[in-house]
Amino acid sequence: MSEAIHFDLTALRRAYADGTLTPEQVIEEVLRRADNARHPNVWIAKTGRERLLEMARALPPAPTEQLPLYGVPFAIKDNIDLAETPTTAGCPDFSFLPPESATVVKRLIAAGALPVGKTNLDQFATGLVGVRSPYGVCESVFDKRYISGGSSSGSAVAVAAGMVTFSLGTDTAGSGRVPAAFNNIVGHKPTRGLLSNRGVFPACRSLDCVSIFAGSCHDAQAVLDVAAGFDSADPYSRSRPKGGVTFSEKFHFGILAPAQREFFGDTEAAALYEQAIARLRGCGGEPAEFDYTPFAQAAALLYAGPWVAERRWALGEFFDQHGDSIHPVVRGIIGGAAKHDAVAAFDAQYRLQALLQTTREIWKKLDLLLLPTTGTTYRIEEVLADPVRLNSNLGHYTNFMNLLDLAAVALPAGFRASNGLPFGVTLIAPAFSDDALLSLGGRYHFTLGGNIGVTPGKISGQPLPKEKSEGVLLAVVGAHLRGQPLNHQLTSRRARFVRQTKTSPHYRLYALANTQPPKPGLRRVAEKLPHGIEIEVWALNEAAFGSFVAEIPPPLGIGALELEDGTSVKGFLCEPIGLEGARDITEFGGWLAFRQSPAK
């Protein structure tokens, strides 16, 4: 085990399936990495070696479909309960031992995930900087002079430094997105209520979201699929609707008008935003300027209305009785609730409702927005010297989102040439667009190169669209590939190309005899081969898929095909009788490589 072993979900699934890694081995490496002297302030409490190993040994000897997060290490922001581990919310005197884990943590553990420990945060999840903690300041994984972002500081650094596969944060004003931008990872802020808040100490109970940090949208989607679900014990829980939101192949995305772009003097960030617009256009989008004014007005309400009082409510008597235990900046912010009376609270809610109506008109014209996650970043010493104003600057493009009931995915978007620090953008769309945002975000991240944090790892692939919302997923291996003679059978049915990838390394490829046009046959084998076979994944609606299958001649048929990331889609397979007289061409790695070879 070494730093060369990546903890991304695809790599772990492959290693567990092949038997080259065990969960116990992964835990030993996780604990070694967690003691990283370069990032000493990530953890508030670790689960403990023996407890983690006991959980790892309790897993079955091999992955199963019932355990989609089998042996996957994850971290938990320390305002989310983990049984047998104190919850501090970043305040030692506030610490308590929860009787059980939060609902979202229970679901992840039940799916096979292994909780490594509790991570540092801006105290009581109040801040976007990561410096407001008695447990120490978290730093950018790229430069220790710069902030990590907050409030979910330790959760983001744990993923970006390669300590865990994913982590849980919370997001009220941007805490699940700003640290993602500053550490070159993915941060998914789900639709409000999609993940249960039961067992989460609140910042603003009516707005809080449990968020997901991961190296890729693919991994974030896998975590979301496990963690989401209605919880009757959470009054703010919401059910995931059937179908959900989808984006067409040609989608429209909103961009800031030049006059409304605020980068606080960071000219490199401004240039990287322009590059992000061009990159999303390359994914099939059509950009259009929109008026950011109502979104900015909604953002301004967050710390000037009833939601500051909601933070004060969460602390109850502790705020009055233990004021000296609270970080002075946090105490000053929450103490401001005293100036907001019930009249002001209703006034703010009425203004928010009017802004909701205004923004609904914008969504009639646009599928999503592409915004900078933050306009700039800051050195730790700068934030300590001017804590409130600079923190407010970081929320310029994030504070409105939960107020307006939106979903978002924060994505890497390149690096500044002057200091090597990452820049990030966020895809934003109305509630329950989570799957569509992660799918598009995965394509976007893939075009950028797919770096994960500061690790040497890269994303293994893109998240596949959901069958329920975007059709049946079909893997093709030969004559139906793009540019090949039967590809028209897909395009004529309006099938959509999803991505190029490989099968798992358990398939052999054969050139079939006496077929016109020439075709290959794919056969699954028990042995592990050196590589998978190149394929393409396409999406068809159910009617188109049915008519397509009806045209397939024997000995070919459609079955379940395992991809290199461990997921399965429909795909071409060959009956054994069809392989008589066929040539084994597995060594070429794919049909196109074979057809282009002089040795064919």
Q: Which residues contact 61 (CB under 8 A, 6 or more apart)?
A: none
* Distance in angstroms (rounded) separating the CA atoms of residues 296 and 287: 20
What is the Cα 59 distance to its own chain's centre?
A: 25
Tokens of 576: 């054994």
Crossing angle for the helix pair 267-282 and 434-448, nearest 10 degrees? Answer: 110
**Distance between CA atoms of 495 and 43, rounded to whole angstroms?**
47
- Which active-site residues does the annotation give? 77, 151, 175
Q: Could you give the 3-state DSSP secondary structure of residue 523?
A: strand
Compute the distance between CA of residue 333 and CA of residue 129 in angstroms, rounded to an integer. 14
Q: Whose CA is closest to 422, among 92, 133, 187?
A: 187
What is the Cα–Cα distance from 48 to 28, expressed in whole angstroms?
A: 11
Measured from the Cβ of residue 310, the count of other Cβ atoms closer than 10 Å reads: 21
Pair 490, 480: CB distance under 8 Å: yes
Q: What is the largest CA-CA distance in the chain?
A: 85
**In terms of Cα–Cα distance, which of 513, 505, 465 is closest to 586?**
505
Nearest CA among 263, 291, 46 for reference residue 158 = 46
Spatial distance between the Cα atoms of 492 and 440, rounded to a whole number of angstroms: 24
DSSP at 460: -
What's the CA gap between 329 and 131, in Å, rounded?
Answer: 10
How many CB atoms neighbour CB 72 within 10 A? 27
Asked if residue 471 lies in contact with residue 539, where contact means CB atoms within 8 angstroms, the answer is yes
> DSSP characters for 214-279?
ESSHHHHHHHHHHH----TTSTT--PPPSS-----SSEEEEEE-GGG---TT-HHHHHHHHHHHHH
- Closest by alpha carbon to 233, among 396, 101, 399? 101
Strand order, beta sheet including 496-502: 496-502, 534-540, 472-476, 568-574, 556-562
Query: What residue has token string 């990032």?
Result: 39
List C-alpha distances in Å: 118 to 3, 160, 165, 223, 324.
22, 16, 14, 18, 24
Contact 499, 473 (CB under 8 A): no
How far is Cα 299 from Cα 397, in angstroms, rounded to an integer?
8
C-beta separation of 480 from 553 below 8 A: no
Closest by CA to 369, choosing from 401, 413, 415, is 401
Find the length of the chain: 600
Tokens 């188109």 correspond to what residue? 544
